[in-house]
Amino acid sequence: MREFDIITKLLKPISGRDSVGLSDDCAFFDGYCITKDILVAGVHFFENDAPYNLARKALRVNLSDLASSGAKPFGFMLGLALPKNTTQKWFEGFTSGLKADIAEFKFQMLGGDTVFHDGALTISVTAIGKTPKPITRSGAKLGDNIFVSGAIGGGYLGLKRKAQFIEKYELPEPRIKLGLKLRKIANSCIDISDGLLADLNHICEESKVSAEIFSNQIPLADPNYDLIEQISGGDDYELLFTSPKETVKNCYKIGKILTGSGILLDGKKIKPKGYEHGK
């Protein structure tokens, strides 16, 4: 089964009342926002990636989820399944990375668990934020403009080991400050982890709308590289949001919310492919 089939068919029916029906990356309760991401060696990162950056990425992909919900970071819990041959030097580098981002994002460690096993390195982070007004995927309204917070495709190109984009892949920048500002102006929001097309489709499905975007308005990490690959590749961790505003400072307007379903690219229907776990 594929990831979204498992979520829709098996997990949604047993989800709790504060889960938003598993339709968002975060759950919300009593002014808190909570999210979880798991990173696995050989799936989400290369086994020889520097532990310092790896720790920071593990925190930042979760911080990006908090940003997309308009939440201020509060704290996190860390789960590690470490290969038995993990060295003290590796772990010192990893904890140095945690320390750096704890300081940068004022994000406190609250607890967690560590085990050693014969499998791949696996990092699980549960992140908690605070927000009086959560932004979800389901609030997009007819006539909203569609915005992105930065260039698309850099994460994918970094995964492909294009030298100038490796840092973008290994060390994404969560848009925390923008997320807080979006509480006042955004009707819906998501962070781009699975790809621009796939994540815009998540907004469309949850909001029961369609969208049209325009290739000449999408800021690409590399204008000379294939457009479809860049908007399908994922790992950008930019914010994708809808708003009735005509302009949003330091963001790019790329399209509009319409009636119906699906996504149009330059007037033509396009399959919203992106990254997805599963067979």
Which residues, other chains included, contact 181 with Cβ-Cβ below 8 Å and sequence gap of 6+?
A: none
Look up the pTM and report it.
Answer: 0.92
CATH of the domain at 171: 3.90.650.10
Mean pLDDT split into 10-residue runs, the chain, 279 residues: 63 62 79 96 92 98 98 98 97 98 97 97 98 95 98 96 94 98 98 97 97 98 97 97 98 98 97 68
pLDDT at 69 (0 to 100): 97
Domain closes at, from 78, 99, 130? 130
Which residues constitute the domain of residue 45? Answer: 3-130
Whether residues 153 and 261 fall in one domain: yes
Residues 148 and 69 reside in one and the same domain: no
Q: Which phi and psi angles does 42 have, rounded to 5°? A: 85, -10
Residue 278 domain-assigned? no
Q: What is the C-alpha to C-alpha distance for residues 261 and 212, in angstroms, rounded to an integer?
A: 10
Number of domains in the chain: 2
244/142 Cα distance (integer angstroms): 9
Whether residues 98 and 183 share a domain: the answer is no
**pLDDT at position 279, please?**
45
User: For residues 121 and 82, is the Cβ–Cβ distance under 8 A?
Assistant: yes
